[in-house]
Amino acid sequence: MGYSDLISLVQSLPQAKQAEVFDFVELLAQRNRADAPPAPTLAQSPLAELMRHPIKVAAFTPLSREEANER
């Protein structure tokens, strides 16, 4: 059954039954939202992880401010 079949079927129902269908769909959507895991916070982002555990490069020395502005 496709969306168009479902829409046609619901439209063929009396208004009261259509309201029941919509209520049921809202119930299912609400349950789905409740079961969904919470969205990750910024503290759980890959950037935060990189800041907590930065990548170390052997024998790397960052430029000083003067060296970086020498041009």
Distance (Å, whole) CA 53 – CA 15:
59
> Residue 40 phi/psi, 5° resolution?
-65, 145
Domain containing residue 42: 3-68
Model confidence over 26-49: pLDDT tens digits? Answer: 999 999 888 878 888 989 888 999
The total number of structural domains that make up the chain = 1
Q: How confident is the model at residue 38, as a pLDDT?
A: 81
Question: CB neighbours of 9 closer than 8 A, spacing ≥ 6?
Answer: 1
- What's the whole-model pTM score? 0.48
Q: Read out DSSP for 14-56?
A: -HHHHHHHHHHHHHHHHHHHHHSPPPPPGGGSHHHHHHHSPPP
